[in-house]
């Protein structure tokens, strides 16, 4: 079984499984801070994909597992969490970058109410022709994409031009990069943008409950 790290009240109405990105594990400062902020409103579950656990054991950097292995791990975590959460609660999948992309491939899982992607990697920086969001044109469950306006993996002007399903909503963090960090000249701080992201996320979840 995958080791789970849980923040928030386990009696919460909404549970979020929060997956890490390609280069940082579940304990990374961004992951921990966002989980803490979200745990004021939901129960948040973090975990490591297999390659990251191996890295922690021997200290050797590894590339991410194949998508099939990542998705298999994610689905196993869903089953674990289903055994922990209240039967009346709702389950949401969220992820940073790669973790969000994997989550977006699991929208049809019957346990999942919706998906939130934090910094979706639409394409590698400088390579817009290598687009990785084709499946977002046909998803039917609610998806929220939280994206920095100047994210090199998909800037605002690019994202609004993509063919996305009506079920996909995008919200942009002012002057934010791939981790939502703005430039000093913007007058904003990274922490302000993180809190704005949390507000968008909570509003998204609330709206789905009202629908």
Please, what is the angle between helix 190-210 and helix 29-38, to 10°? 40
Range of the domain at 81: 5-210
Q: 146 pLDDT exceeds 80? A: yes
Q: What pLDDT, on a 0 to 100 scale, did the predictor assign at position 1? A: 79
Q: Which helix (H) or strand (E) holds 50?
A: helix 50-58
By CB neighbour count within 10 A (0-12 exposed, 13-18 middle, 19+ buried), where does 85 fall?
buried
Closest CA to 190 of 119, 140, 122, 126: 119
**Separation of alpha carbons 43 and 118, rounded Å:** 17
pLDDT at residue 209 tops 80: no
pTM exceeds 0.95: yes
- Looking at the chain, how many residues does it have? 211
Tokens 């000249």 -> residue: 185
* Residue 28 CB partners (closer than 8 Å, separation 6+): 20
Mean pLDDT computed over 154-175: 98
pLDDT bin (cut points 50, 70, 90) of residue 210 is: low
- Least confident piece of the model among 14-18, 57-61, 95-99, 107-111: 57-61
Please give the average per-residue pLDDT across 25-41, as a whole number: 98
User: Is the separation of the CB atoms in 180 and 155 below 8 Å?
Assistant: no
Report the CATH number at residue 102. 3.40.50.1820
If you average pLDDT over residues 140-162, what whole number do you get? 98
Our count of domains for the chain comes to 1
- pLDDT value of residue 211: 58
Stretch 69-79: mean pLDDT: 98
Q: Is the pLDDT of residue 59 over 80?
A: yes
* Cα–Cα distance, 34 to 146 (Å, whole number): 13
């Amino acid at each position: 079984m995958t080791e789970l790290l849980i923040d928030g009240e386990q009696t919460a109405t909404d549970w979020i499984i929060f997956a890490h990105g390609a280069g940082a594990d579940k304990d990374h400062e961004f992951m921990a801070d966002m989980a803490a902020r979200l745990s004021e409103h939901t129960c948040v579950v973090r975990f490591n994909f297999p390659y990251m656990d191996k890295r922690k054991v021997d200290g050797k950097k590894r590339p991410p597992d194949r998508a099939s292995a990542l998705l298999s791990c994610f689905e196993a975590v869903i089953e674990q969490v289903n055994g922990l959460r209240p039967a009346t609660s709702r389950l949401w999948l969220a992820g940073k970058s790669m973790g969000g992309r994997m989550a977006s491939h699991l929208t049809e899982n019957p346990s999942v109410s919706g998906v939130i992607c934090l910094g979706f990697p639409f394409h590698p920086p400088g390579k817009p022709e290598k687009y990785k969001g084709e499946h977002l044109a046909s998803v039917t469950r609610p998806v929220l994409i939280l994206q920095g306006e100047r994210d090199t993996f998909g800037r605002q002007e690019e994202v609004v031009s993509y063919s996305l399903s009506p079920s996909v909503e995008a919200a942009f963090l002012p002057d934010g990069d791939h981790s939502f960090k703005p430039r000093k000249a913007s007058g904003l701080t990274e922490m302000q943008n993180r809190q704005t992201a949390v507000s968008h996320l909570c509003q998204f979840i609330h709206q789905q409950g009202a629908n």
